[in-house]
Amino acid sequence: MTSSVINFAEKLTQLNEYWSPRVLAELNDYQFKVAKVQGEFVWHSHADTDEAFIVLEGQLLIEMREKSVVLNKGELFVVPKGVEHRPIAESECHLLLIEPKGVVNTGETQSELTAAMDQWL
């Protein structure tokens, strides 16, 4: 058994790059990732999967074509699969992401913000 207790705040102190999700743990074929974000991300969607955002610190705006939502600390939003979205954080924001292994952060969109997959913290 290799599982250990993960403290989000402590892990986040080791991450100094925006929009670069890092894997903390796996749950079957899903991954828990943390990310620090600030500024505007790119419009993208994930054709094959929903994507869960939990705000650990700060505030996140998720723009979608039909509506936008604002998430504060302690809040969860699931972007349904196929729904175009663009995360925006006015100030630094810390996120917990839950999604299947192999999900690219920019989905179907190629961008300079496209991060390498499966980077662990």
Alpha carbons 15 and 56: distance in angstroms, whole number: 14
Residue 14 found at the interface with a second copy (CB under 8 A): no
Could you say which of 3, 13, 14, 16 contacts a second copy (CB under 8 A)? Answer: 3
Q: Which helix (H) or strand (E) is 8 found in, with range?
A: helix 8-12
Residue 61 found at the interface with a second copy (CB under 8 A): no
CA pseudo-torsion sign 53, 60, 118, 114: positive
Could you say which of 15, 42, 61, 69 contacts a second copy (CB under 8 A)? Answer: 69
Amino acid identity, position 96: L
Residues that bind a second copy (CB under 8 A): 1, 3-9, 24-28, 30, 32, 49-52, 56, 64, 66-67, 69-72, 74-81, 83, 98-100
